[in-house]
Amino acid sequence: MRWFGFGFNAFGQICVSEKPRKDGGSDVVKVISPTELGGHADTSGCCGQTSQIRASWSRRASLHLDAPRCVCLAGFRAAVSGGSCGICREESRGCKDALITESHLILSFPDRIESWDLQKEEKTPSWVMEVNPHVEGSGPSLNLPLVSGGYVAPKPPFYHSLSPHLKAKSLALGAEHAILLSSSGAVYTWGLGSHGQLGHGGLSSEEEPRTVEALWGMQMQSVATGGWHSVCISDGGDLYVWGWNESGQLGLPSRGLRKALQQKSSQQAEVVCQDTSTSPVEEPQQGEEHEEVFISIQAFPALLDVTPSCEVRKISCGSRHTAAVTTSGDLYTWGWGEYGQLGHQTLISSDEPQCVEFFRGQQMRVVDVVCGAWNTFAAVIKEEVACS
């Protein structure tokens, strides 16, 4: 399995230029074409194949879950170099999962959870919580930010308890809200609701987990959240979206995005007209215009048809963009694209799901996707994929 990245790269979290800056960053700020991440092993040869990627705004964490298990960091204060996948964190050896934020690296071990302050050079974790491996092993395996009895947050206080009746299966944290999937397939949300990201039909906030009633009776298999939007996939492979859509991150018509694209098109048309001395394009005649419904906030779940030919298998959200992997092995992206995070080898944003043709062209099948705030990482395997 190989990992590719594209989008925001100011700190070298995807790749670094041949002459990196003195502060360890990269002169290549925008990676608009999917680029394979550094080699599978660091200079000490301690790491195996990258099993998973975790990303924040300025950093990337590569999880090596085969023996010996460890985490390598790339990006701010840890830019990749040569064939390295980043700087191996010695304190991560033996971990089974990790969560990276702008300030902390949270590590999950069989018997404990540790949080390391990345802004300080310390030899001991800033926070530790012991867990009972026997209790943890009695149920389904929990992935961060879920931990035994609750979940961990990106900053102090790190631990937050959850009612045991929720029977949490997975959990995702947005900028100011959370979305939880229960073992029964029900979806709960809480936190700030000012952009409709809770999916309850209004803009009110919720202090405690509340069921998303619009999805009641439909079993969901996975959930994800961006800065101010939320998504989930049903057992049948249908994708539901809600929250903020200013940049088209829901895949629904965005007035702000369409207006910006029209302004660019008008400016380009004016230049062409001036250069060729031709008449401007005629405006639509009365009766030819049709009014389109634009959505800036979708306060309850809406069904999004990514592609009619296949189902959605994986989903991930950036701050203002979304990426989905289909059962055919294709990657679709939409939303804000001004750093190239949509992978279409342009800086154009889109409020419509579009296939990332790069992987089709290379006969690669996408099997997983992870979004950072302003970038995207895709895991692929070599395989001929029929065009859908």
Summarised one tens digit per residue, pLDDT across range 321-349 is 999 999 999 999 999 999 999 999 999 99
Alpha helices in the chain (DSSP H): 133-136, 255-276, 357-361
Summarised one tens digit per residue, pLDDT across range 210-261 is 999 999 999 999 999 999 999 999 999 999 999 999 999 999 999 988 887 7
Alpha-carbon span 297 to 136, nearest angstrom:
39
Summarised one tens digit per residue, pLDDT across range 144-200 is 999 989 999 988 899 999 999 999 999 999 999 999 999 999 999 999 999 999 999
The confidence score (pLDDT) of residue 132 equals 81
The confidence score (pLDDT) of residue 258 equals 84
Alpha-carbon span 342 to 336, nearest angstrom:
8
The confidence score (pLDDT) of residue 311 equals 96
Q: Average pLDDT of 117-128?
A: 92
Averaged confidence pLDDT in the chain: 87
**Domain spanning 167-277+293-388, CATH class:** mainly beta
Summarised one tens digit per residue, pLDDT across range 267-318 is 655 655 555 544 444 444 554 455 678 999 999 999 999 998 889 999 999 9
Q: Average pLDDT of 72-80?
A: 81
Spell out the domain ranges in the chain. 167-277+293-388
Q: Average pLDDT of 78-83?
A: 54
The confidence score (pLDDT) of residue 80 equals 52
Q: How confident is the model at residue 385 (pLDDT cuts 50, 70, 90)?
A: very low
Residue 183 exposure: Cα atoms within 13 Å on the Cβ side: 9
Name the amino acid, one letter, at 132: N
The confidence score (pLDDT) of residue 136 equals 53
**How many percent of the chain have pLDDT more than 70?**
83
The confidence score (pLDDT) of residue 286 equals 53
The answer to whether the predicted template modeling score (pTM) of the entire model surpasses 0.95 is no
Alpha-carbon span 299 to 199, nearest angstrom:
5
Q: How confident is the model at residue 40 (pLDDT cuts 50, 70, 90)?
A: very low
- Cβ neighbours of residue 265 closer than 8 Å, sequence gap 6 or more: none
